Structure 1
Amino acid sequence: MEKVLVVGTGLIGTSAALALREKEVAVYLSDVDAHAVRLARELGAGQEWTGQDVDLALIAVPPHIVGERLADLQKQGAARAYTDVASVKVDPIADAERLGCDLTSYVPGHPLAGRERSGPAAARADLFLGRPWALCPGPETDTGAVRRVRELVSMCGAKAVTVGAGEHDSAVALVSHAPHVVASAVAASLEGGGDVALGLAGQGLRDVTRIAAGDPLLWRMILFGNALPVAGVLERIAADLAAAASALRSGDLDDVTDLLRRGVDGHGRIPGKHGGPVRDYAVVQVVLQDGPGELARLFNAAELADVNIEDVRLEHSTGLPVGVAEVSVRPEDTDRLAEALRFHGWHVPPVPGGNSAGPEGR
């Protein structure tokens, strides 16, 4: 694959373009927003499309206009194969059928990657690394088109997962769309919170509400396209929350305990690093000054100690120029890393038996 057209230069489209440019693919950019195209071009994502024929067209627009863009591109004979990145699949496919699109060259797709920020300025070439990328080819889809799209996915560093369109929409309702609404509901409850309450907020609140910062208008379109599956998930969650509230009022906490236990079990089912089973890592806490180069120094110290950092998260101290980095490593590496960090001048609290921190301070 030598030439790709990216239609829609938002977060996903520009990130894919940047990843392809790193593979020396010629990328052409198109968007109704001329400013977005210009910014994506200045970021090195490619050059403006002026009608060149390409091997593949990636349609990165909201779900409700995927069919229209596909029909327009196919009328122009723009590409040999076409795909999209919309987060719902049933409705765009139905729109494509209604508009008379050639479904043999169209491979519906959806990368399970994103950020709470939007627009080309938020794009990253590594956005898709190790992430699943759903592909929903129909029975009429040409194998050559599937091959080209799978090559695109591979070039972006993602893992292609073939799934039916209906199954896909039900799945993302559970793991993406409903969680976004729930996070928004938690964040919305903070509007009435006082300064004292918000000043006591820990990292747990930030974790739960992070995705609530997404673009409301974009999420309105996503939820509209997957309304019934999302509604079903929200109704189940709402029933659990209502039962928990009733139990708390009555003082009988069996239902609450059951929900907490099921929560632990559900969390344990989330795939771990590289999509494999979740591993138990020890957490080494490091007190960092809030200054340039601190994280780079920490990573360099870990490299010198021959310790692989499996994960890292930062918690800032409100009103203080310091923060805490929680570095996840293999339990057998904790002593070596802690010793190396102390040698380089950091304060490292004792690691309690290689276990992560408890709920306090979350």
Structure 2
Amino acid sequence: MRTALVIGTGLIGTSAALALAGRGVQVHLRDHDPAQARTAAARGAGTDQEPDGPVDLAVVAVPPAHVAATLAEAIRSGTARAYLDVASVKGGPRRELEALGCDLSRYLGTHPMAGRERSGPMAAGADLFEGRPWVLTPTHETDTEVLNIALELVALCRAVPVVMDADAHDRAVALVSHTPQLLSSLVAARLEDADETAVRLCGQGIRDVTRIAASDPRMWIDILSANPGPVADILSAVAADLDETVRALRGLESADDEKRGEGAVGIEDVLRRGNAGRSRVPGKHGAAPAVYETITVLIGDQPGELARIFADAGRAGVNIEDVRIEHATGQQAGLIQLMVEPGAVAGLAATLRDRGWSVRQ
């Protein structure tokens, strides 16, 4: 691949353009908002000038509702040798292209499983896709050259290719991406009118659950409008679980011992099913989740503190497998949770104490 055209210079489009440009591909940028394309170009993602002729690859990075029309226009004008989109839904756009009578042999639907709460070219980065799954949805109509170019794109972005059926992909992302977004927003919405004293009690749990609720609503309306059925199916199942959980909780507050017992069983069931589901989420490097021990350390909110504690862990010969920080309300300090292999706990705790850290193991 020597030349590419990226149509749509938001977070995903600009990130792909930055990755390609950084690896020697001549990238042209196009957007319905010329100012946004100029911003992406100023960041080094390519040029906002139109190509002189057909490029090797056209990457369509526009909202799902506009994917088919944008692709159809590009295909009919002979823009590229190969065409792909990076929308978060795959079945709908392909069926729209079929209805428009487009030649689908030169097209491949793809979806990089990467993103951020922020959008636009200023949020983009060439490393956005590194180590992340990038779904490819070829069919029997897909030309081999197109598939090879798509695989080259994934390699240049340092992502991991995953081949799936388009509709199976849409059901999968409804479960692992689209539904969590709505559930996060639903929980965060409870905070909008909550008493200030309750909000001040927010800890790491509520921060974890509501992190993605900061996402752009307009972007998510576009995504959910393209995949409403599978998301509604999952939410319907969640709603049934919620009804059962509410009944179980009402049982726990009953004066009747039998009802309290049934309530406890119901709550235990949902918690255990949650344990079982969580255990299937891939862990570090995509492997099965490992069991780590946690060392909690009081850390000040000053420059260099994180570097110092990591360096001290290195002196102890311990690899930090994961890390979380819980900020103390109203104080210039917080608690850092260091996740390590169980056998490393004693040595790391001793080293950190020797180095002056307040360890809350």
TM-score by length of structure 1 reads 0.91
Partner of 2:260: none
Deviation, 1:173, is 0.8
More off after superposition, 199-208 vs 110-119: 110-119
Partner of 2:90: 89
Q: Given that residues 286 and 326 in structure 1 are in contact (C-alpha distance below 8 angstroms), is that contact kept between their aligned partners in structure 2?
A: yes
The runs of 5 or more residues in structure 2 that have no matched partner are: 253-262
- CA deviation string 1:158-207 (max 9, x = no partner): 11111111111111111111111111111111122110000001110011
Structure 1 segments, 4+ long, off by >6 Å, are none
Q: Give the share of equivalent positions with the same residue, in percent.
A: 51
Q: Given that residues 40 and 121 in structure 2 are in contact (C-alpha distance below 8 angstroms), is that contact kept between their aligned partners in structure 1?
A: yes
Q: SS of 2:359's equivalent?
A: coil
Q: Given that residues 64 and 91 in structure 1 are in contact (C-alpha distance below 8 angstroms), is that contact kept between their aligned partners in structure 2?
A: no
Q: Given that residues 112 and 134 in structure 1 are in contact (C-alpha distance below 8 angstroms), is that contact kept between their aligned partners in structure 2?
A: yes
Given the superposition, is the C-alpha separation of residues 300 and 79 from structure 1 closer, same or farther in structure 2, using an over 3 Å criterion? farther
Given the superposition, is the C-alpha separation of residues 193 and 97 from structure 1 closer, same or farther in structure 2, using an over 3 Å criterion? same
What CA distance in whole angstroms lies between the structure 1 residues aligned with 2:326 and 2:22? 33
The runs of 5 or more residues in structure 1 that have no matched partner are: 351-362
TM-score by length of structure 2 reads 0.92
What CA distance in whole angstroms lies between the structure 1 residues aligned with 2:305 and 2:38? 34
Radius of gyration: which is bigger?
A: 2
Alignment of 1:87-166 (within 5 A): 87-166=88-167
Q: Given that residues 28 and 51 in structure 2 are in contact (C-alpha distance below 8 angstroms), is that contact kept between their aligned partners in structure 1?
A: no
How many equivalent pairs are there?
350
Deviation, 1:343, is 4.6
Letter of the 2:275 partner, please give it. V
Alignment of 1:207-356 (within 5 A): 207-251=208-252, 252-350=263-361
What CA distance in whole angstroms lies between the structure 1 residues aligned with 2:186 and 2:338? 30
What CA distance in whole angstroms lies between the structure 1 residues aligned with 2:330 and 2:88? 39
Given the superposition, is the C-alpha separation of residues 304 and 21 from structure 1 closer, same or farther in structure 2, using an over 3 Å criterion? farther
What CA distance in whole angstroms lies between the structure 1 residues aligned with 2:314 and 2:29? 39
What CA distance in whole angstroms lies between the structure 2 residues aligned with 1:253 and 1:331? 32
Q: Given that residues 285 and 324 in structure 1 are in contact (C-alpha distance below 8 angstroms), is that contact kept between their aligned partners in structure 2?
A: yes
Partner of 2:257: none
Deviation, 1:336, is 3.9
Deviation, 1:89, is 0.8
Given the superposition, is the C-alpha separation of residues 161 and 258 from structure 1 closer, same or farther in structure 2, using an over 3 Å criterion? same
Given the superposition, is the C-alpha separation of residues 349 and 136 from structure 1 closer, same or farther in structure 2, using an over 3 Å criterion? same
- CA deviation string 1:212-261 (max 9, x = no partner): 11111111111111111110000000110111111111222221110011
What CA distance in whole angstroms lies between the structure 1 residues aligned with 2:210 and 2:246? 20
Q: Given that residues 86 and 109 in structure 2 are in contact (C-alpha distance below 8 angstroms), is that contact kept between their aligned partners in structure 1?
A: yes
Letter of the 1:220 partner, please give it. I
RMSD over equivalenced CA pairs, Å: 1.7
